[in-house]
Structure 1
Amino acid sequence: MHDGHDGAGAISSEVNRIGRAVMDAAFAVHRELGPGLLEGVYEHCLAADLARGGLSVERQVAVPVEYRGERIDAGFRLDLLVERRVIVEVKSIDALASIHTAQLLTYLRFAQVRLGYLVNFNSLRLKDGFRRIVL
Structure 2
Amino acid sequence: MHKVDTEIHKDLDSLSYKIIGLAIEVHRQLGPGLLESAYQECLFYEIKNAGLVVEKEKILPISYKDIKLDYGYRIDLLVENKLVIELKTVETYTSVHFAQILTYLKLGNYPLGLLVNYNSKILKNNIKRFINTPENL
TM-score (norm 2): 0.87
CA distance in 2, matches of 1:101, 1:57: 22
Alpha-carbon distance in 1 for matches of 2:12, 2:127: 18
* Counterpart AA for 1:131: K
Indicate the residue corresponding to 1:48 in structure 2: 45
- Alignment partner, residue 19 of structure 1: 16
Q: Does 1:98 align with 2:61?
A: no
Bigger Rg, which one: 2
**Percent identity of the aligned residues?**
39
Structure 2 unaligned runs (5+)?
133-137
Task: Give the gaps of 5 or more residues in structure 1.
Answer: 1-8
Using the TM superposition, give the Cα deviation of residue 71 of structure 1 relative to its aligned residue in structure 2, in angstroms. 1.4
- Structure that is richer in strand per residue: 2
**Equivalences, count:** 127
- What is the CA RMSD across the aligned residues, in angstroms? 1.4
User: What amino acid maps onto 1:113 in structure 2?
Assistant: Y
AA aligned opposite 1:46 = L
| Alignment partner of 2:56 out of 34, 37, 59 | 59
Moved over 6 A (4+): none
Equivalent position of 1:82 in the other structure: 79
TM-score by length of 1: 0.88
The Cα shift of 1:125 comes to 1.3
Distance in 1 (CA, whole Å) between partners of 2:71 and 2:25 is: 33
Corresponding residue SS for 2:72: coil
How far 1:52 moved relative to its partner? Answer: 0.7
Q: Relative contact order (C-alpha < 8 Å, sep 6+): which is higher?
A: 1
CA distance in 1, matches of 2:44, 2:122: 20
Tell me whether 15-24 or 49-58 shows the greater mean CA deviation: 15-24
